[in-house]
Amino acid sequence: MEREKGTMELKFTKASELKQKPQDETQLGFGQIFSDYMFLMRYTEGRGWHDAEIKQYEPFLISPAATVFHYAQEVFEGLKAYHCADGSVNLFRPTANFARMSASAKRLAMPEYDEAFANKALKELVSIERGWIPESEGTSLYLRPNYIGVDPYVGVRAAREYIFYIICGPVGAYYAHGLAPTKILIEKVYTRSSPGGMGFAKTGGNYAASLIAGEEAHQKGCDQVLWLDAQQRKFVEEVGSMNIMFVIDGVLVTPPLNGTILPGITRDSVLTIARQRLQGGRAPRQYGRDHRNGKVRRHDRSVWHRHSRCGKPGGRVCVWRGNHHRGRRKNGQNGDGILSDTDGYPIRPGRRFVWVDRESLTLRKGV
């Protein structure tokens, strides 16, 4: 019988020895240092979730035949804890992370877990590891929930046993150059996901499929890869480690959540703030050009056609959800046509560009 939600106890076992914390917070890097403790719980078919514990960070023993090693049944999340000016510690929307993790797990045929309990364990872990949260500007405590199938069985089926764990450690900026504009290479050979696949799931297999393109981008002096749609290789989908947005002719443009891209929590936050600030708290109106008859009409659903454009005069800002809208090509102006396809101009795969200036939120000319 599976345990009812909220009935499992959270045990704490004190570590036998604590690590020395980093002294120089300018040298933290990203994902290289881990704290003293971790959270771990187990799932067994017929028993449900059990043995929830915060314990010393250490390796755990699983079989070489474990499902995760052979059939990649694994999902994960990533979020951060920060020091605030008033001395408090904040997390950024952790409930959204666990909700997304549940959606990923469902896609990989993994058992449901108690999101509220996982969130409680996460906060308890952060409280215990408060001393590991760096205080310098641009630093934080990175938290990595992970959920893996561990059946000692070599056969294609969903696992019967699982481990859910959370590890954490102090980090600096993800990129060595910090908040400087990111150089991105438009990928024209490889694709990351396709309709009906796992593009929306935060699972290791999606990232493994992107590694070769990322390596080739680095060789060409770029930080990340811009992925195009798998069918036509012409519509923007997302960037390797992030969702992507553009401001084109006063329009905030971002690809839709159609199952091929990760539903980014920062993405949702930006769109929510944009709606509140730019539309007085109301949802922005959305217009598009119907490719069948050329008429501009209002759309109420997140389905946009190839030649969609903002059809509302008067400088109103529309938040677009379609990946087929990229703004008009204007030589010498924002974007310089690199990602403009509204009027039939194709994007140019393989070209490098710096995507968004974080101060002015305008597209930079390609380099």
Measured from the Cβ of residue 70, the count of other Cβ atoms closer than 10 Å reads: 15
pLDDT at res. 136: 86
Report residue 174's pLDDT band, with 50, 70 and 90 as the boundaries: confident
* pTM of structure: 0.75
Please name each of the domains of the chain with its CATH number. Answer: 11-171 (3.30.470.10), 177-367 (3.20.10.10)
Of 170, 121, 162, 114, nearest to 142 by C-alpha is 170
Which tokens sit at 280?
A: 């007085």
Q: Note the pLDDT tens digit of each residue in 271-297.
A: 888 888 776 544 444 443 343 444 444
At 80-134, the pLDDT tens digits run: 999 988 889 999 999 999 999 999 999 999 999 999 999 999 999 999 999 999 9
Residue 201, pLDDT above cutoff 80? yes
Kindly state the DSSP code that residue 263 receives in the 8-state scheme. Answer: -
Q: Across the chain, what does the average pLDDT equal?
A: 76
Query: In this predicted model, what pLDDT tens digit does every residue of 29-75 receive, in sequence order?
Result: 898 999 999 999 999 999 999 999 999 999 999 999 999 999 999 99
CA distance linking residue 83 with residue 105, whole number of Å: 31
Phi–psi pair at 202, nearest 5 degrees: -90, 85
**DSSP letter for each residue of 20-56:** PPPS-GGG--SSS---SEEEEEEEETTTEEEEEEEEE
Tens-digit pLDDT profile for residues 1-30 = 344 455 799 999 999 999 999 988 788 889
Helix residue ranges per DSSP H, the chain: 67-71, 94-107, 115-128, 204-208, 211-219, 265-278
